[in-house]
Amino acid sequence: MDLIKKEAMEIGHMHNKSTPSDSSKSSPVAKESVMIIRIVGMGGSDVFELVNSRYLEVNVHWDSIFPTSVHLLWNLRTLVLNCWRDHVAPVQIWELHQLRHLVVNSSELTLPDPPSGHNDIVIMENLQTLKGVSNLYLNEECLSKLENLRCITGSMFVARWKWFRFPHSLKKLYIQGSPNMELENILQKVGSLPLLEKFVIRYGYFSTRKWETIEGQFPSLKFLQLRCCDGLEDWIVSDNSHFPVLEKLCLFVIKQLKKIPSEMGEIATLKSIELRFCNESAVKSAKKIVEEQEDLYGDQIDLHVQATVYAHEEALGSLASVNFEVIVED
C-alpha cells in the first residue's frame, strides 16, 4: 500500500471524502475536474461516470454488478474495491491503460483473459500493484511495469501456472495457491526474477519432495516465506550465493522438512529465521545454524531465530538461548 499512498500524494492535493448525499453540494466534487475522490457506500454504475478521476475507492454493495463502462475511466491511476463477495470484472477493465494500482479488499476479483486481436487496445501497460485477484493471465507484454502482485488462485486454475510468465519488474510477490498446486515449476520461474525482494507462497506441494536452488536464483530477495507447502523433505542449497541478500526466512507449517540448509547460516545479510509448527528436526537444524554462528562470532551475532512449537513438543524449549527463542503454543 505504500506505493498507492505515494501515488495519491503525487496526483494532487485534494483529499475529499464525499458520499451520494453531499457530492452534489460540493462544487469541486460535482465537477469532472476532481483529481482525487473517495466514494463510500455507492454500489451503482454511476460511480464510473467520474471519468476524470485518478483515485477511486468504492465500497461495493453485495448485489452490485461490475459495470462494463469501467473503461470510460480513461485517467484512473488507482482503483480500490472494498467487496463483501467475489466479483467478476468485465473484459473492458483491461482498457484502463493509465491504471497503476488495482486493489481488492475483503474478497476476490476474477479477471477475464485480456482481449486478443485488437491492436488498438493498450492493455494496462502501467500497472504496478495488483492485489486480490483469483484468476489472472500474466505476461510481460501486458504487465511490463508490475511491481507488486498478490494472486489468489483456486484449484480449478492450477494448470495455468505451467505457462505463467511473471513480469521481470516484480519486486513483491504473494501467491496463494491450493493444496494440489505443484511448486517446483513455479519456484524456478520466481527464482529468475531479477528485482524480486519479497516473496510469499502459501499452499501447494512438492511432487519431487525436494527443492534445489541453483546459482543465480533470487539475486535480490530479502524476505522469503513458505507457508503450508506440503511434501518438502529436502531443501538443497549448495552455496550461500543462491540467496545473496536474504534478510528474513519464514517457514510456517512445513512439516516434512528435515532440516534448513546449513548454507543459509552463511548468508551475511540474514538477520532472522522464523519457524512455526515445523518438523522437530528442522527446528534443531536452525539451532545448529545459530550455534555455528556463535562459535565464530560469539553471542553477539546478528542472527535471531524464533521457533513456535506445539505443546507436546515443549521439550524443545531446552534449546532456547540468547539468539534462539522457543515459543510453546497449545
Delimit the domains of the chain by residue range.
Answer: 1-152
Q: Return the amino acid letter for 259.
A: K
* pLDDT value, residue 121: 55
* pLDDT value, residue 118: 55
DSSP E strand stretches across the chain: 16-18, 36-39, 55-59, 78-82, 87-88, 101-105, 109-110, 129-135, 148-152, 172-176, 198-205, 210-212, 223-230, 234-236, 248-252, 272-276, 304-310, 324-329
Q: How many other β-carbons are positioned within 10 Å of the β-carbon of residue 181?
A: 22
* pLDDT value, residue 190: 95
* pLDDT value, residue 178: 85
Q: Following DSSP, what letter does each residue of 253-272 receive, concatenated?
A: S-TT-----GGGGG-TT--E
Confidence of residue 44 (pLDDT cuts 50, 70, 90): very low
Residue 201 vs residue 27, higher pLDDT: 201
CA distance 142 to 122: 8
* pLDDT value, residue 184: 93
Cell numbers for 175: 501467491
Mean of pLDDT values over 47-55 = 73
* pLDDT value, residue 285: 97
* pLDDT value, residue 134: 67
Mean of pLDDT values over 113-139 = 67
Fold assignment, 1-152: 3.80.10
Percent above pLDDT 70 for the chain? 76
Statement: residue 32 has pLDDT above 50: no
Q: Return the amino acid letter for 90.
A: P
- Give the best-scoring range by mean pLDDT among 87-96, 98-107, 126-135, 243-252: 243-252
Percent above pLDDT 90 for the chain? 43
Q: Could you read off the pLDDT of 149-175 as tens digits, one per residue?
A: 877 666 556 666 777 778 888 999 998
Confidence of residue 250 (pLDDT cuts 50, 70, 90): very high
Q: Could you read off the pLDDT of 270-304 as tens digits, one per residue?
A: 999 999 999 999 999 999 999 999 999 988 899 99
CA-nearest of 63, 69, 68 to 50 is 69
* pLDDT value, residue 119: 53
Confidence of residue 73 (pLDDT cuts 50, 70, 90): confident
Q: Could you read off the pLDDT of 191-239 as tens digits, one per residue?
A: 999 999 999 999 999 999 999 998 889 999 999 999 999 999 999 998 8
Residues with Cβ within 8 Å of residue 31, at least 6 apart in sequence: none
